[in-house]
Amino acid sequence: MISPAIPTRQRIISAAAKLFYNEGIRSVSVDAVAEEAGVTKRTLYYHFASKDDLIGAYLEARDQPNLALFKRWYAETTGEPADKVQGIFRNLARAARHPKWKGCGFLRTSAELVNMPGHPAMKVGIEHKKRVEAWLRVRFEAAGIKAEAPQLARQIVLLLDGSFAVVLLHRDPTYMEAAGEAAGSLIRAATANANA
C-alpha cells in the first residue's frame, strides 16, 4: 500500500502507475487502484472523472521523468553525440535486464488503446514521443548537424521504439544494444555529411 502521507491525487496516480505498468491498463480495475492507493472508489472518482482520465494522468506522470532520464544518460556519457545516444540505448538495455522491466509504458498503453485514437492517454503518448524527438533534434542541431537534424531525430525515435518492442518480445536486451549501434552509425554519418 502507498503511504497516506502522500497527497491523495498523487497516491492514486502512484498506485495506478504500479498496477498499470505491471498488469496492463485493461486488466486493472478502478477498484484495484483505489485499494492499492488506500482510498475509496468515490474518492478516486472525486480526483478523476473516469478510468480514462486516470490512465492519461498515469502517462502524464511518466512524461517528464522519462525525458529527464534520457537527458541524464546523454549528459553522463562522454564523447560525441553518437556516443551519447548510444549511452541512452546501453542504459535502456541495462534496465531491460531487470526482471520487473516491462518495456515502454507509453507504447504498451497505445497498443491496448489502438482502437481509441482520441483517448486522453493516446494524446499524452503522442506528445511524449514528440518531446523526445524534439529534444534529440535540438541536441543534433547544437552539435552542428543542422539540415539532417529533424530526420535524424525521427530515425533515432524509431530505433528506440522498435528496440522497446523487440526486446519485450524476445526478452533479449542485446537487440537494444544493436539498435544503439545503428543509431550511432546514423549520427556519425550525419556528422560527417555536416562537416563535409
pLDDT tens per residue across span 88-135: 999 999 999 999 999 999 999 999 999 999 999 999 999 999 999 999
DSSP states of 10-65: HHHHHHHHHHHHHH-TTT--HHHHHHHHT--HHHHHHH-SSHHHHHHHHHHHHHHH
Do 186 and 156 touch, CB atoms closer than 8 A? yes
Q: What is the pLDDT of residue 151?
A: 97
Which amino acid belongs to residue 61? A
Cα-trace Rg, the chain: 19
Sorted by where each starts, the structural domains of the chain and their CATH numbers stand as 1-48 (1.10.10.60), 62-195 (1.10.357.10)
Do 140 and 185 touch, CB atoms closer than 8 A? no
Q: How far apart are CA 20 and CA 59, in angstroms?
A: 10
Residue from 186, 1, 20, 14 nearest 103 by CA: 20
Q: Which residues contact 91 (CB under 8 A, 6 or more apart)?
A: 69, 73
Looking at residue 139, the DSSP 8-state letter turns out to be H
Q: How far apart are CA 183 and CA 70, in angstroms?
A: 15
Q: Tell me: the pLDDT tens digits for 73-88?
A: 999 999 999 999 999 9
Query: In this model, does residue 2 exceed pLDDT 60?
Result: no
